[in-house]
Amino acid sequence: MVSSMKDWMQYGDPMSNPYYPYDTYNVVYDLGFEVYQFLGGIVAWLIDLILPGNPVSEWLMSDAVVNAFSIIILALVIFLVIFVGVLISLWEERKVLGRFMDRRGTMVGMKGFMQCVADGLKTFMKENTMPKKIDKMTYMWTVSLIIGTSVLVACMLPLSDRFFIVNFDSGLLIVMALYALAPFFILVSGWSQNNKYSLIGGMRAAESMISYEIPMLIIVCSVAVLSGTFNIGGIVAAQNESMWYIIPLFVGFIVFFTCSCAESERSPFDLAEAEAELVEGWQTEYAGMKWGLIMLGDYLRGFASCAMISIMFLGGWNVAPFASDAVNGFLPEVVQLLKGWFVFFIMIWVRVALPRVRIDQILNLGWKVFMPLSVVNLAIAVLLKVGGVF
Amino acid sequence: MMDTEAIYQEPSVSEIKHLLENKFKGKVTVSKTEVRRVHAEILNKEDVFEVCNYIHDNLTFEHCSIVMGADMIDHLEVIYLLTNYYSGTVIEIFAKLPLDDLHVHSVALIWEGANWHERETYELFGIIFDEHPKLKRLLTPDTYTFFPFRKSYKLRGQE
Amino acid sequence: MMVVENTIDTFDSPSEERIAKDRYQTDAMWIYMGPQHPFSHGLWTLKVRVDGEIVTDAEPVIGYLHRGWEKEAENREYPKIIPMADRLCYSASMTYTHLYCMTVEKALGIEVPEKAEYIRIVADEICRIQSHLMWLAAVGTDLGNLTIFLWGMREREYWLDLNVRLCGQRMTTNYPRIGGVRNDTTDIFDRDVMRCTERFEKALWDLIDMIDSSSIYVSRMKGISRLTREQCANLGVTGPAMRGCGVDFDLRRDDPYGKYENIDFEVPVLTEGDTYARYMVRIEEMFQSCEIIRQAVRKINALGKNAPYRLKVPSKVPAGKAFCKLEDPRGESLMYLISDGTDKPFRLKVRAPLFTNISASRPMVKGVRVADVPAVMAMIDVCMGETDR
């Protein structure tokens, strides 16, 4: 008996799969599920056509395998969406920067967007040079880890309550922990390059990042105090029920915004790669593809900080508090991305307006201004919570 | 009669002429004066440091514009242009160096700005400034053994 | 961390043995900034010894661009040196050619027509403004802000257009001649100059707003690299860097050449002696230059269209010595000409202001942080063509 192709494609409810990994509906998983149903179904049907009654086709369409492939497709889709989002923010930076400076910005194809692709191709085709007297293992490993953690941070942040890769109760804390890993790799990387500029750059990165990590964490805590959870979805939902936290925690917003500029090494806080005095800082000896990926990593971190600001202070993927479900439910992923790009626009604005700060100024600012302010912010949050406002 | 030991902040051209000629009788001759310009010659190169010190300390010439060498074929010259910041007066003072004794006392200890000018003059003309803090080649490579700005060093097109 | 006083001790540079000894110290290291380094605008090296982030010692190294300019000049006829003088510094070409022509005129003992003098003043001040704008642009990049760079360069382009209107060339202008200038001003040059100055004074306020209203900019410059008046004079630092340290001296006013004594302008002088004062002096100089240009253009107009602008001069210069000083955008430049009666100079010495200013970089950067080194060095507006000659 020849089986029909449709027999192999059961577009069922992904949530009825016993291996479904989430508690709530995940649209990306659903997409992966259906893509796999279609592709895997064709493959299984073809194998079955040639060798009728073989066990491989059955295995291909079993619940566990379908789930595994759906998760692989989910990971790919999420990475691609974030990647394209980062490329768009890169394009946004170039265009906005250009317009602020009275020039046009990049002009290669699609209003200059194709410049990102051209740059990517260029760096990938460059010769993979490496200095002779370096510590090769740390040199390669640290850069991989820096880029890897950056990708991980950017992908860990959900775009909506149905577009996520994990949904932990401690989601924000995990993101912050991954965020805080990079300075140590940068320090080791600067050391391994056998170059004085890199060494100073690495030490500066470690100094400045450590001093900005703590105010950031305190502000994350104050947001958690208000919302009662570290779960990212929970924070957004809590803001939808009361108000955006930018209103009660305005101090925290300012501090967090500045700290995340510093954290993602964006100008004016890019001391670690201050090209005026340190050539390219800790990235001096990385050439070609490695440097291209480091730049991508930087922008991934910037993108992640913007997404975090959007989630923590600007209501995340909801259009407005108390809006109807129909309004809030309309493409929440796009709303979240737009908010992220808006915050990124402000970051570009800051970059346009300010020169690079000095290392002693940045440390003073971090420990003497932002640290007390973040504690004040935490106190405000606790007062509001105890006072029963939230 | 002016006091040659007093300190003058803003000496006029005629005062400078008078003071230099009286303080260093038989050592310095003032050949010509113009508006804000004094041209003088130090007859004996041993007196360069003393005269310069006097011009700096007593006549308040705080700025040494240049120290330059010139190859006059039968002898070398070292020329100093010194500026007073209060009146804008410039003293041009030079000393002749015989070819067999190209030593002159450094003025880099009086005007720190003369340091590199003297180094440059040394490497290009071979004039040796005694007691200079670091008399090394500045513009040309350390391996040069000749002095390229002397007239005896010909350019290719000149021959 | 070692406490470093920001004072000059003796000028002697660190010996090779000391550098070799420091190589094995763990708390201090020598960083070579240059010649291929984004901070060095041109080919030169600043070796700095850093203790953590603080610069404890420094030594400038120059000579990468030494072309033997003075020797080359001895091999050429007098008029052929004018385009060479253009190449001494690309952003001060007009002042160097002016200075050269003035020196030869002095050796010849001739007076230039009045109109040519005023045209030269206009050309010099255009040159000064565009040079200062380029400096402002460089300050922007050295402090890590690209906006100032592009805005400064945009404003500079208008002045270069005026150069084109005056003599058909943007940067290496080859415009002054021995005995005058190459050509008269064009028909509507006076109108263009007036429009450009008026527009520029407004645009410059935009740039000033951008810099002075930002506390980061100001704090990056205030109190950095202080020099006293006496140190500054003794080190031979000249130009805006010197006037920022309290030396009240400007060759245009105190030792006037050309027809500057007929022009009424102020010399900005500040006594703070830090980087910010040097910055303020340069900004104010740009406004004063606009004022000078306006007055000089009025004088040109008063002289009328048919006034002579160039003299015929003999090709041979009588034997003798002559020197001229001129206020370059970067400081006091000077040419010393020894002629022997032929049509080629016997010796032509150039005093480039930056040659001495760079030699003073050791006391300037001592005690500042590594991040401030570009900012401090930007304030002397480095141009290597004239330094190495």
For chain B, list the domains and their CATH numbers. 13-153 (3.30.460.80)
- A10 and A65, same domain (yes or no): yes
* Percent of chain C surpassing pLDDT 70: 93
C268 Cα distance to chain centroid: 16
Query: Cβ neighbours of residue A84 under 8 Å, at least 6 residues apart?
Result: none
Cα–Cα distance, A160 to A51 (Å, whole number): 44
Mean pLDDT of the region C333-347: 89
Question: Between B and C, how many CB-CB pairs are < 8 A?
Answer: 96
Domains within chain C, CATH numbers bracketed: 16-61 (no CATH), 69-388 (1.10.645.10)
Cα–Cα distance, A250 to A33 (Å, whole number): 42
Best of A96, A194, A356, A364 to disrupt the C interface by mutation (most C CBs within 10 Å)? A356
Residue A365 clears pLDDT 80, i.e. is over it: yes
Residue C220 clears pLDDT 80, i.e. is over it: yes
Closest in B71, B115, B153 to C359, CB measured: B115
Q: For C315, left (φ over 0), alpha (ψ -120 to 50), or beta?
A: alpha
Contact C144 A355 (CB under 8 A): yes
Helical pair A63-100 and A114-125, crossing angle rounded to 10 deg: 110
- Give the pLDDT confidence score for residue A342 in this predicted structure: 92
Three-state secondary-structure class, residue C219: helix
Contact B148 C71 (CB under 8 A): yes
- A21 and A165, same domain (yes or no): no
Closest-CA distance, A35 to chain C, in angstroms, reads 47
Mean pLDDT of the region C97-105: 91
In one-letter notation, the amino acid at residue A362 is I
Q: Which residues of C touch A358 (CB under 8 A)?
A: 220, 369, 371-372
Residue A345 clears pLDDT 90, i.e. is over it: yes
Q: Do chains A and C touch (3 or more CB pairs under 8 A)?
A: yes
- Give the pLDDT confidence score for residue C10 in this predicted structure: 41
| pLDDT (tens digit per residue) in B84-100 | 888 888 999 888 888 88
How many domains are contained in chain A? 2
Cα–Cα distance, A331 to B43 (Å, whole number): 94
Residue A322 clears pLDDT 80, i.e. is over it: no
Mean pLDDT of the region B60-87: 89
Distances (CA, A) of C389 to A364, C60, C364: 44, 16, 23
Question: Between A and C, how many CB-CB pairs are < 8 A?
Answer: 82
- A213 and A287, same domain (yes or no): yes
DSSP state of B59: S
Cα–Cα distance, C286 to C204 (Å, whole number): 9
| pLDDT (tens digit per residue) in B112-140 | 888 889 888 998 888 888 888 888 888 88
The answer to whether residue A270 is domain-embedded is yes
Specify whether the CB–CB gap between A377 and A218 falls below 8 A. yes
Q: What does the buried/exposed string (b/e) look like for C101-114 if buried means 16 or more CB atoms within 10 Å of the residue's CB? A: bbbbbbbbeeebbb
B139 Cα distance to chain centroid: 20
Taking all residues of chain C, what is their mean pLDDT, rounded to a whole number? 85
Domain boundary at A53, A83, A113, which?
A83
Contact C371 A196 (CB under 8 A): no
Q: Give ipTM to 2 decimals.
A: 0.88
CB contact C53 to A (< 8 Å): yes
Residue C64 clears pLDDT 60, i.e. is over it: yes
Q: Which residues of A touch C218 (CB under 8 A)?
A: none
Best of B83, B90, B127, B146 to disrupt the C interface by mutation (most C CBs within 10 Å)? B83
- A148 and A228, same domain (yes or no): yes
Helical pair C275-303 and C114-142, crossing angle rounded to 10 deg: 150
Chain B residues whose C-beta sits inside 8 Å of any chain C C-beta: 36, 62-66, 68, 70-71, 79, 81, 83, 85, 87-88, 90, 92, 108, 111-117, 120, 133-134, 137-141, 148-149, 153, 155, 157-158
Cα–Cα distance, A144 to C163 (Å, whole number): 53
Cα–Cα distance, B147 to B16 (Å, whole number): 35
CB contact C350 to B (< 8 Å): no
Read off φ and ψ for residue C177, nearest 5 degrees: -125, 160
Cα–Cα distance, B82 to B94 (Å, whole number): 11
Query: Cβ neighbours of residue C18 under 8 Å, at least 6 residues apart?
Result: none
- Give the pLDDT confidence score for residue C11 in this predicted structure: 43
Contact B63 C233 (CB under 8 A): yes
- Give the pLDDT confidence score for residue A229 in this predicted structure: 86
Contact B62 C334 (CB under 8 A): no
Query: Cβ neighbours of residue B59 under 8 Å, at least 6 residues apart?
Result: B8, B11, B16, B19, B84, B91
- Give the pLDDT confidence score for residue A159 in this predicted structure: 86
- Give the pLDDT confidence score for residue C8 in this predicted structure: 39
Mean pLDDT of the region C269-279: 88
Confidence bin at B157 (pLDDT 50/70/90): low
Sign of the Cα pseudo-torsion (C219, C221, C224, C226, in order): negative
Q: Which residues of C touch B120 (CB under 8 A)?
A: 355
Q: For C322, left (φ over 0), alpha (ψ -120 to 50), or beta?
A: beta
- A157 and A59, same domain (yes or no): no
Confidence bin at C17 (pLDDT 50/70/90): low
Least Cα distance to A186 among A297, A87, A83, A300 occurs for A297
- Give the pLDDT confidence score for residue A375 in this predicted structure: 92
Residue of C nearest to A284 (CA): C37
Confidence bin at B158 (pLDDT 50/70/90): low
The answer to whether residue A88 is domain-embedded is no
Instruction: Spell out where chain C has E strands.
Output: 28-33, 45-51, 54-61, 176-177, 180-181, 320-328, 331-339, 345-351
CB contact C11 to B (< 8 Å): yes
- A187 and A260, same domain (yes or no): yes
Closest-CA distance, B135 to chain C, in angstroms, reads 10
Read off φ and ψ for residue A117, nearest 5 degrees: -65, -45
The answer to whether residue A192 is domain-embedded is yes
Specify whether the CB–CB gap between A279 and A193 falls below 8 A. no
The answer to whether residue A346 is domain-embedded is yes
The answer to whether residue A99 is domain-embedded is no
Chain A residues whose C-beta sits inside 8 Å of any chain C C-beta: 97, 100-103, 196-197, 200, 267-268, 270-271, 274-279, 352-361
The answer to whether residue A107 is domain-embedded is no
Instruction: Spell out where B12-134 has E strands.
Output: 28-34, 37-42, 63-71, 75-83, 90-98, 103-105, 128-130
CB contact C306 to B (< 8 Å): no
Least Cα distance to C129 among C203, C38, C214 occurs for C203
Specify whether the CB–CB gap between C246 and C268 falls below 8 A. no
Confidence bin at A15 (pLDDT 50/70/90): confident
Taking all residues of chain A, what is their mean pLDDT, rounded to a whole number? 85
CA angle A146, A150, A152 (to 5 degrees): 120
Closest in B113, B149, B158 to C235, CB measured: B113
Q: For A234, left (φ over 0), alpha (ψ -120 to 50), or beta?
A: alpha
Specify whether the CB–CB gap between C223 and C375 falls below 8 A. no
Helical pair A63-100 and A27-50, crossing angle rounded to 10 deg: 130
Contact B81 C238 (CB under 8 A): no
Q: Which residues of B touch C342 (CB under 8 A)?
A: none
- A135 and A262, same domain (yes or no): yes
Q: Which residues of B touch C15 (CB under 8 A)?
A: 134
Q: What are the start-end ranges of the H helices in C183-340?
A: 189-212, 215-221, 229-235, 240-243, 251-254, 275-303
Least Cα distance to A24 among A167, A228, A236 occurs for A167
Residue of C nearest to A98 (CA): C147
- Give the pLDDT confidence score for residue A39 in this predicted structure: 87
- Give the pLDDT confidence score for residue C2 in this predicted structure: 38
- A133 and A42, same domain (yes or no): no
Cα–Cα distance, C210 to A354 (Å, whole number): 9
Q: Which residues of B touch C248 (CB under 8 A)?
A: 85
Contact C75 B155 (CB under 8 A): yes
Domain boundary at A83, A110, A138, which?
A83
Residue A116 clears pLDDT 70, i.e. is over it: yes
What is the residue whose two structure tokens read 């003992």? Answer: C109
DSSP state of A51: S
Contact A277 C373 (CB under 8 A): yes
Specify whether the CB–CB gap between A158 and A233 falls below 8 A. yes
- A72 and A137, same domain (yes or no): no
Of the ranges A92-96, B89-93, C11-15, which one carries the lowest mean pLDDT score? C11-15
* Percent of chain A surpassing pLDDT 70: 99
Residue C22 clears pLDDT 70, i.e. is over it: no
Specify whether the CB–CB gap between B36 and B13 falls below 8 A. yes
In one-letter notation, the amino acid at residue A336 is Q
Cα–Cα distance, C181 to A133 (Å, whole number): 58
Distance between terminal CA atoms of chain C? 40
Contact A277 C147 (CB under 8 A): no
| pLDDT (tens digit per residue) in A142-151 | 888 988 998 8
Q: Do chains B and A touch (3 or more CB pairs under 8 A)?
A: no
Best of C70, C227, C249 to disrupt the B interface by mutation (most B CBs within 10 Å)? C249
Least Cα distance to C288 among C212, C197, C221, C199 occurs for C197
Mean pLDDT of the region C304-321: 86
The answer to whether residue A251 is domain-embedded is yes
What one-character-per-residue DSSP string does A300-346 give? Answer: HHHHHHHHHHHHHHS-TT-SSTT--HHHHTS-HHHHHHHHHHHHHHH
Contact B116 C356 (CB under 8 A): yes
Is the peptide bond prior to A268 cis by the omega test (within 30 degrees of 0)? yes
- A155 and A54, same domain (yes or no): no
Residue C115 clears pLDDT 50, i.e. is over it: yes
Query: Cβ neighbours of residue C313 under 8 Å, at least 6 residues apart?
Result: C105, C108, C110, C178, C179
- A192 and A75, same domain (yes or no): no
Best of A104, A197, A349, A354 to disrupt the C interface by mutation (most C CBs within 10 Å)? A354
| pLDDT (tens digit per residue) in A206-256 | 888 888 888 988 998 898 888 888 888 888 888 888 888 888 888 989 999
Task: Record the pTM.
Answer: 0.86
Q: Which residues of C touch A200 (CB under 8 A)?
A: 31, 50, 53, 370
- Give the pLDDT confidence score for residue B73 in this predicted structure: 85
Residue of C nearest to B65 (CA): C236
Mean pLDDT of the region C347-363: 89
The answer to whether residue A96 is domain-embedded is no
In one-letter notation, the amino acid at residue C194 is M
Segment 51-110 of chain C within 8 Å of chain B by CB: 62-63, 66, 68, 70-72, 75
Least Cα distance to C290 among C92, C130, C147, C77 occurs for C130
Q: What range defines the domain where residue A46 resides?
A: 5-83
- A173 and A237, same domain (yes or no): yes
Cα–Cα distance, A352 to A83 (Å, whole number): 24
Domain boundary at A66, A83, A100, which?
A83
Strand partners for B72: none
Contact B62 C234 (CB under 8 A): yes
Cα–Cα distance, B115 to C11 (Å, whole number): 8
